[in-house]
Amino acid sequence: MKINYTPRFAAFLVLGAITFLALGFTLGKKAGEITPATIEAASELFGLSFSPAEKDSMISNLNNQRSNYETLRKVSLDNSISPALVFNPLPMGFEPNLDQKTLDWGLPNQVTLPEKDVDIAYMPVHQLSVLLKNKQLSSERLTKIYLARIKTYSDTLQCLITLMESTALDKARAMDAELAAGKYRGPLHGIPYGIKDLLSVKGTKTTWGAMPYKDQEIDATATVVTKLDEAGAVLVGKFTLGALAMGDIWYGGVTKNPWNLKQGSSGSSAGSASAVSAGLVPFAIGTETLGSIVSPSTRNGVTGLRPTYGRVSKYGAMALSWSMDKIGSISRSSLDNGIVLSVINGRDAKDASSIQAAFNYEAKKDAKKLKVGYFKSYFEGDRPGQENDRKVLELLKSKGIELHPLELTTSVEAGPMVMMLMVEGAAAFDELSRLDLDDQLVAQGKNAWPNGFRAARLIPAVEYVQLARQRSVLIEEVNALMKDYDVIVTPSFGGRQLQITNLTGHPALCLPNGFNAQGSPTSITLLGNLFEEDKLILLGNYLQANSDWQAQRPPLFNH
């Protein structure tokens, strides 16, 4: 069996997982004497039992281990330092396709320029791109439209952390000048966008949405931002995220859902999804560890792409879980997300977990020739939103696409593996817990990060490794299940698929598919094989070309 953790992670396991709180010491306090009684208390937490002689024999080793902890804690590790052990999502024998072909987006030669700014603001990237290329619309004017909307609505939505007006206008004018001189960088040339504020940009603060870091400046620019800049995109702002990438609560408030201002926008890519939904930018960059693109895309009625783990460099992004963090885009259409992915994907020497793989898209390919499966049992019953999910299947069938029923079954449980995220998060924010800085976070409930990080310190390193081994089994089994299909359709929150595919690193495309009884958007998710996002984009674009779910606008922001 392949184990996906190469021998570069030993220090992390020691630092992040073996912490015996019950052995007589607490975070930030001097340890007391280790006795058989403290060992017994600790062993009960781990579900183990030792004889009196065994406990007595362990004491010297435990004292040595605790001394090692004290030595380790003399070194302060920046969040940007990744563990020595690198997660690899590739099943045994799997090799990504490296044959990069010329991309064909199938963009029209002409697009009609709307009269009203609001109608321009709600246009998808692939239409704005044509207008800019044909010089029907300047990047400067387009950027000013979005800057004005951000100034008007961002306070209402509580979605903005940093407005980058001056640099955005400078970049927009430069892109217009290049175009006038005959230089065209591609479909993102002159297109404004925003980023989740866990991505660093030199000269700006990068707050991670959390009070302890609200004035933090990082002297680095994230690789995805650099790549988008090189493609001609115009960065207009840094949007909110739930503190340390959880939910929609940040140090400045709660980011709102444009469809219902009494409701948060979900998270953790809260501001990115809210801003796209309200027409403040045509696309924004988000991240996902366990649903942070899918969930806010659903709540805000926008289209989110979670790429294959490793396809997009994480350099310059806040680390929460080195083995689960992924960076993707949120936009108004599947095709837009494909265009963005074509720019931000690729191996990066600054991110050891990044993987080189081709991303090929051909608009001429027939979506009807895709082999499409669906998780049959997830579409049954009367769960909220089920009717909208079934309408997607009906639409596909009506267009002549054959659907193949299957079930997502595995021999190992995904639920316990989420403890890996908690251990990695506790290690990433070790000093936040040990120095009591976690008290500054707004969210303090039992399911919030402060308590989760504390509890994670009681997860033994042995169990962490066992979880990693079971994760290898999960990767192989899910690959074996999915490799016979081009795309699998699933309710976005059906069963354990969201947990499972985030653990295995598979890509997902989340699309709007209607509204619930309360008038809030709902979504459907398309799953693909590793590094086969092109097939998700092809079917997603076909779905959106034959429906108008993604074209709806939140009424309060449609002016």
Q: What is the mean pLDDT of residues 233-245?
A: 98
Q: Considering 445, 471, 497, which residue would you say is the last residue of a domain? A: 471
Residue of higher predicted confidence among 361 and 519:
361
What's the mean pLDDT when you consider all of the chain?
A: 94
Q: Output helix, strand, coil percentages for the chain, rounded to the nearest 5.
A: 40, 15, 45
Amino acid 9: pLDDT: 41
Alpha-carbon span 273 to 266, nearest angstrom: 9
| pLDDT tops 80 at residue 16 | no
Tell me what the mean pLDDT of segment 239-249 comes to: 98
Strand partners, 254: 249
Would you place residue 532 in the very low, low, confident or very high pLDDT band (cuts 50, 70, 90)? very high
Query: Which residues fall within 8 angstroms of residue 283, CB to CB, at 6 or more apart?
Result: 125, 191, 193, 276, 329, 330, 331, 332, 336, 337, 340
Within this chain, do residues 388 and 420 fall inside the same structural domain, yes or no? no
- Provide the domain limits for residue 63: 10-75+412-471
Q: How do 234-239 and 192-196 pair as beta strands?
A: parallel
Q: Is residue 12 over pLDDT 60?
A: no
Q: Are residues 447 and 343 in the same domain?
A: no
Q: Which two structure tokens, joined as six digits, stand for 225?
A: 């931002």
Number of domains in the chain: 2
pLDDT per residue over 309-345, tens digit each? 999 999 999 999 999 999 999 999 999 999 999 999 9
Verify that 404 and 416 share a domain, yes or no: no
Question: Which pairing describes strands 508-515 and 521-528: parallel, antiparallel, or unpaired?
Answer: antiparallel
Supply the CATH number for residue 127's domain. 3.90.1300.10
Residues in the chain: 559
Cα-Cα-Cα-Cα torsion 534, 537, 541, 542, nearest 10 degrees, comes to 60
On whether both 400 and 420 belong to a single domain, the answer is no
Beta strand pairing call for 253-254 and 521-528: unpaired
Other C-beta atoms within 10 Å of 118: how many? 14
Co-location of 267 and 375 in the same domain:
yes
| Paired tokens of 405 | 């029923």
User: pLDDT tens-digit profile of 368-422?
Assistant: 999 999 999 999 998 888 999 999 999 999 999 999 999 999 999 999 999 999 9
pLDDT at 31: 57
Same domain, 151 and 292: yes
Same domain, 341 and 456: no
* Percent of the chain residues topping a pLDDT of 90: 92
Q: Which residues are designated catalytic? A: 196, 268, 292
Name the packing angle between helices 449-456 and 418-428 (round to 10°).
100
In this structure, are 224 and 291 located in the same domain? yes
In terms of C-beta density within 10 A (0-12 exposed, 13-18 middle, 19 or more buried), how is residue 209 classed?
buried
pLDDT, tens digit, 9 for 90 and up, residues 410-430: 999 999 999 999 999 999 999
Tell me: pLDDT of 232 over 90: yes
| Cβ contacts of 238 within 8 Å, gap of 6 or more | 160, 161, 162, 164, 194, 195, 196, 197, 199, 201, 204, 206
Within-domain flag for 102: no
Looking at the structure, do residues 360 and 308 belong to the same domain, yes or no? yes
Q: Rounded CA gap, 107 and 270, in Å?
A: 30
